[in-house]
Amino acid sequence: MIQASLQQSTLRYVARRQVKVGVLPSFWPLILILAIQAGVSLITLHNTAFQDEALYLYAGRQIFHYWMGGPVPLDRYAYYFSGYPGFYPVIGGILDMIGGLELARSFSLVCMLGVNIVIYVSTKKFFQRTAAIFASATYASLGTVLFVGRLATFDALCLFLIALAAGIAYRVSTSHRPWLALMVGPLLVLAILAKYAALLFVFPVLGILVFCSFVCLGWWRMVLRLTLAIIAMLISLVVIYHFMDKLAFHAIDGSTLNRTPLIEKTRLELFAHVLYMGGVVYVAAFGGLVLVFLYQRRFFLLSLLIFGSSWLVPAYHIYKQEGVSLDKHMAFSLFFAMPLAGYALAWLTSQVGQGVANLNRHYWLAGLSVVLIVFILGMQQSQNIYAQWANTSDLSYVLHTQLRDGSGRILAEDIEVSRYDAEDITEQWQWNGVSFFYYVTSTHKQLFNDDALRQAIDDRYFAIVELSFNYQPAEAIVIAQQMVKTRNYDLIAKIQFQNSFGIGHFYIFRRAAVAGHGNFTRMSQVII
């Protein structure tokens, strides 16, 4: 008979250690997608600050300095900013102080990556993993997404907060724990604070909560969640209202609710542009809507809601005939369309329910093809959008040869970028824009706008004048004509630039050493 006489305690068991990759396999497709999104954004999109970026970051720094005991900002940003100046601009400003424009833009990129993560997770939760991969890959390839991820403005943060709220709404609607709904309200309020236009998405997000939880959990659980979300939102609103600068209401009215179009376009043009930016996704999302109708009709209303939500921004732009910012606002719209689009692509690739293990069916190539089409288009679009504004590196360089910290006033047509670029060598009081200019003469006469500009030129009030005849051409011409007339200025530099409208020039004028002896004597010296 067999004897096992050893005491077990005297034995030593040694198992060989196996090295394993620590990344969850279900998430590393997402990591790859995020990597290509970040890589393409960071490497292909390069330009100096856009005027909005320059304005917000400059404002953010001023506000932050003020909070830290510095001087009061001279500009009333809350009066006209389309987001609350004390929120994103300060975040952007601090990042700008630490790492410059690139770091501020990186924050936007992180926000957009976050949005994509929400799309992946929500689509996976709501539909299926393959649909999530396609949704995420397609969103990462969109021109508007790549663009917003490289723009240090309100948009990325606002969209991230909306996405987070929507993601939580999805989650809380499928969970038996309702308390997460309390987060939806504050996130929406923060999104509104980041950019007032987020008001538009309050109802879609709450709609997701309502429809999704109703279908998944029943009506009373839906009511509970909705109530929690609304209560939290109201409390947040009250708290915010208490602390906020009330001037912001003027901005909400002017920039969002009753906006006057800056660049008016026909509705057909705008519709065509919407299709150009997101047509593929809309077609796919519509396909997804049809599929939901065919296969899972109980979710149809919810799908209809998110599909409809994806049209809110385009509809508003088309209604207002406003062309400005439509490119970046499309990122908001398409966020809502992505789950349906991913679902349709998954169906197209016959992946739904099968997994991609069955690679011998080659339809997955079709899904990839669609994503590649979007990618090629998106990369081209984002580069085009990014080249819409002129590179101001040369302008900044030349200004650095002329400006003195705390000495001399500067009149700049492109004040936002000029001031931002020269922030390190000037004080805020030195800068004057060509719009809303106010001037008091030596005889205490108060002048405004063109009259003020003419008189100031006459008085050699400005040490440096920058004109491009591009941003505010009417005022620029008035100023130039006055300089010609008075001969008080020397034209010292002509810097060529190129933007989406073509080639132009920045002109730098310096106060002549002797009044009336400047070299800028003819308008023909500048190209208008």
CB of 10 to other proteins, least distance (A): 5
Closer by beta carbon to other proteins, 90 or else 209: 209
Stretch 178-217 residues interacting with other proteins (CB under 8 A): 216
CB of 118 to other proteins, least distance (A): 16
- The CA distance from 225 to 214, in Å, is 10
Closer by beta carbon to other proteins, 87 or else 507: 507
- The CA distance from 461 to 511, in Å, is 9
Q: Which of 110, 457, 144 is nearest to 314 (CA)?
A: 144
For the record, the structure tokens of 381 come out as 């679009």
Which class for 108: exposed (0-12), middle (13-18), buried (19 or more C-beta within 10 A)? buried
112 binds other proteins (CB under 8 A): no
Binds other proteins by CB under 8 A, chosen from 115, 157, 172, 371: 371
Q: Is 490 helix (H, G, I), strand (E, B) or coil?
A: strand
373 binds other proteins (CB under 8 A): yes
CB of 58 to other proteins, least distance (A): 18
321 binds other proteins (CB under 8 A): no
CB of 257 to other proteins, least distance (A): 36
For the record, the structure tokens of 311 come out as 């049209």
Stretch 76-105 residues interacting with other proteins (CB under 8 A): none
DSSP 423: G
10 binds other proteins (CB under 8 A): yes
Alpha-carbon Rg of the chain, whole angstroms?
28
Q: How many chain residues touch other proteins (CB under 8 A)?
A: 92
For the record, the structure tokens of 438 come out as 């106010």
Closer by beta carbon to other proteins, 247 or else 304: 304
116 binds other proteins (CB under 8 A): no
Q: Which stretch binds other proteins (CB under 8 A): 150-158, 367-375, 471-479, 514-522?
A: 367-375
Closer by beta carbon to other proteins, 268 or else 513: 513
**What are the phi and psi torsion angles at 397 (to 5°)?**
-60, -50
Binds other proteins by CB under 8 A, chosen from 47, 82, 108, 128: 128
* Distances 350 to 27, 131, 145, 155, 271 between C-alpha atoms, Å: 21, 11, 27, 35, 32
Q: What is the phi-psi region of residue 69: left when phi exceeds 0, alpha when psi lies from -120 to 50, beta otherwise? A: left
Binds other proteins by CB under 8 A, chosen from 199, 235, 492, 528: 492
Q: Which stretch binds other proteins (CB under 8 A): 48-56, 349-357, 385-393, 452-460?
A: 349-357
- The CA distance from 353 to 347, in Å, is 9
Contact 95, 104 (CB under 8 A): yes
CB of 354 to other proteins, least distance (A): 7
**What are the phi and psi torsion angles at 495 (to 5°)?**
-115, 120
Binds other proteins by CB under 8 A, chosen from 242, 246, 362, 444: 362
**What are the phi and psi torsion angles at 115 (to 5°)?**
-60, -45
CB of 170 to other proteins, least distance (A): 9
Closer by beta carbon to other proteins, 30 or else 181: 30
Stretch 14-53 residues interacting with other proteins (CB under 8 A): 14-17, 25-26, 28-30, 32-33, 35-36, 39-40, 44
For the record, the structure tokens of 70 come out as 């510095």
Stretch 498-527 residues interacting with other proteins (CB under 8 A): 510, 513
Stretch 278-297 residues interacting with other proteins (CB under 8 A): 291-292, 295-296
Work out whether strand 438-440 and strand 431-433 pair parallel, antiparallel, or are unpaired: unpaired
Work out whether strand 502-511 and strand 489-499 pair parallel, antiparallel, or are unpaired: antiparallel
Contact 368, 475 (CB under 8 A): no
Stretch 388-447 residues interacting with other proteins (CB under 8 A): 397-398, 400-404, 424-425
Work out whether strand 502-511 and strand 464-467 pair parallel, antiparallel, or are unpaired: antiparallel
Binds other proteins by CB under 8 A, chosen from 238, 239, 275, 366: 366
Q: Which stretch binds other proteins (CB under 8 A): 80-88, 126-134, 220-228, 517-525?
A: 126-134
CB of 410 to other proteins, least distance (A): 12
- The CA distance from 17 to 525, in Å, is 78
Binds other proteins by CB under 8 A, chosen from 84, 126, 332, 420: 126
